[in-house]
Structure 1
Amino acid sequence: MRFSLFILCLIQFVFAVNPAQAQAVHPPFWNEIQQFKQQDSLNPPPAHAILFVGSSSFRIWKTLSDDFPGYTVINRGFGGSTIPDVMRYADEIIFPYHPKQIVIYCGDNDAASSSIITVDSIYNRFVQLYDLIRKKLPDAEITFISIKPSPSRQQLMPLMDAANWKIQQFLSKQPHANFIDVYHLMLDEKGLPRKDLFLPDMLHMNRKGYLIWIQAIQPHLIQ
């Protein structure tokens, strides 16, 4: 009886640890990327478009195409992504489109991800992303939108501002690259984030916030 019980437990254990029986563990945002790939297979996006890629400030921007009439744009904002997340999925949501311009918004979640994140951490991550893109797309325009100041992350503003400055200085020396400063456009007269530009979570923008972004971004888009 004891031997039979042992065999039964052993069989249950084998099935429990069998990789074929176990659910696959995927990296963050894997499901969202698979949805993009499925959409692309059913309705391939045009090549040589303007690609917006980055975190949730793009993901929830549902009117992006309408806000830039006359431009062919692709929106690949996903989750609460960080710069390493964008690098992880570059082969799926950047390079296949052969974009003529890549507009990046990322760094916001990097700053909030850990207490040990520094200005240099964010800067170095961006330079790695830039180098990754430039190697595969040497002639593409690379545009970085500054990390925005949010009321819910007000304590991180010095870190964000300094990271923005370093990235801006780097891009100013690169060919086919530019930096869009929305950070200072979103501050009030006291240098604090304007709460009227944000949803109740005080992190994501409302329409007033996006109108500021539209005016700042449009002059930098290429035909």
Structure 2
Amino acid sequence: MTRLILIIFLCANISSYAQESSTFDDKHFIEYLTNSLKNNDVNIENKNAFLKESSNYWNDRKLDYNLHPENYEKAMSLFHENQEKFKEIVSAANNKMNNRIEDAIKNFQNLDDRNTFSKNSILFVGSSSIAGWKTSISFPEFYIINRGIGGMNMTEIIQHYEILIKKHSPSVIVIYCDIDIEQGKSPEIAVNAFKELTRKIKGDLPKTSILLLSMKPAMIDDFIGRNIRKNKMITNELLLKFSEKENNIQFVDLASPMLNVDGKLKTDIFINDGMHLNKLGYEIWNPIIRNILLELTK
């Protein structure tokens, strides 16, 4: 729960709090985190204060952190300890996220009721990387349906499978979702959800090709929680191994092209929140996906 709240806080709310600059320099932020750990009052007020101060601090330094993470080892360790301390404190942000997803599903249902879609469509489904992708502009040669919802995890995709996927009977389904890992689930649990979804698709739509897109590294991975980047990469490896044993399922590595030759993440491919791709980011993804779609539909 803590990670979901922090995702909302750091992304949508790098919009509110992150308009402010941090009141702490590096030394005083470490002192603040240390004192926060010593404070035995674990309540929503202290949690909100921790989230606000941390959001402002990391937002100011997210670029430098990605270039020089070694300079922030102590601060990051203390930050993760505080995340663990407050993880049992539930926020109203969870209900807001659930309501937003349900509203988006209803909007898609209303859209479907008013339109007819090609049976040779390419369906993009998943979380915010799909929702923010201008897929019809990026792939004008195809009939595109985009059913992305920011913050939607794999369980929610499966829950709304009939509306999001089955009813469209697409020729190709492109799936991206990193929310399960960002919510703190293990790579094994995340991959099991992908397996469950693909079983449903193959059972109902046996001729449909499935593309599993790799989880992307993001500038704020470490701010979301401990080992988020590591667990994304482990999940990618497991999805690759799974896809190699399956017919009509292909794993697509979009993560490697997002790295510089030194292995560090390209920082100019994200919007200001450090999580979502900008035009440059999607320009890395587009030709990779286009070539695969052309091969699958020729």
Same-fold call, TM > 0.5? Answer: yes
* Aligned with 1:110 (options 180, 189, 199): 180
User: In the aligned structure 2, how far is the partner of 1:172 from the partner of 1:28?
Assistant: 35
User: In the aligned structure 2, how far is the partner of 1:30 from the partner of 1:174?
Assistant: 32
The one-letter amino acid of 1:84's match is: T
Alignment of 1:90 onto 2:155: no
For the 8 Å contact 2:129–2:150, the answer to whether it is kept is no
- Which residues of 2 match residues 50-129 of structure 1 at below 5 A? 50-61=122-133, 63-106=134-177, 108-114=178-184, 117-129=185-197
Corresponding residue number in structure 2 for 1:136? 204
- Cα deviation, 1:83-117, whole Å, max 9, x if unaligned, reads 111111111110011111100001x1111112xx2
Give the drift of 1:192. Answer: 2.4
Give the alignment's TM-score, normalised by structure 2.
Answer: 0.63
* Aligned with 2:262 (options 178, 185, 190): 190
Unaligned runs of 5+ in 1: 1-25
Alignment of 1:153 onto 2:225: no
The one-letter amino acid of 1:132's match is: K
Give the alignment's TM-score, normalised by structure 1.
Answer: 0.83
Corresponding residue number in structure 1 for 2:243? 171
User: In the aligned structure 1, how far is the partner of 2:201 from the partner of 2:231?
Assistant: 25
Identity %: 31
Corresponding residue number in structure 2 for 1:203? 275
Corresponding residue number in structure 1 for 2:31? none
- Cα deviation, 1:142-186, whole Å, max 9, x if unaligned, reads 101100000111441111111101101111111111111011111
* Aligned with 2:105 (options 29, 33, 54): 33
For the 8 Å contact 2:213–2:251, the answer to whether it is kept is yes
**Which is helix-richer, 1 or 2?**
2
Q: Tell me the secondary structure at the aligned position of residue 151 of structure 1.
A: coil
User: In the aligned structure 2, how far is the partner of 1:28 from the partner of 1:175?
Assistant: 35
Give the drift of 1:28. Answer: 6.1
Give the drift of 1:38. Answer: 0.5
Corresponding residue number in structure 2 for 1:4? none
Find runs of 4+ consecutive structure 1 residues off by over 4 angstroms. Answer: none
Q: Tell me the secondary structure at the aligned position of residue 84 of structure 1.
A: helix
Unaligned runs of 5+ in 2: 1-97
Give the drift of 1:79. Answer: 2.3
Figure out how many residues of one structure are paired with residues of the other and give that number. 194
User: In the aligned structure 2, how far is the partner of 1:192 from the partner of 1:81?
Assistant: 28
Larger Rg, first or second structure (1 or 2): 1
User: In the aligned structure 1, how far is the partner of 2:114 from the partner of 2:237?
Assistant: 41
For the 8 Å contact 2:171–2:208, the answer to whether it is kept is yes
The one-letter amino acid of 2:120's match is: H
The one-letter amino acid of 2:216's match is: K
For the 8 Å contact 1:84–1:125, the answer to whether it is kept is yes
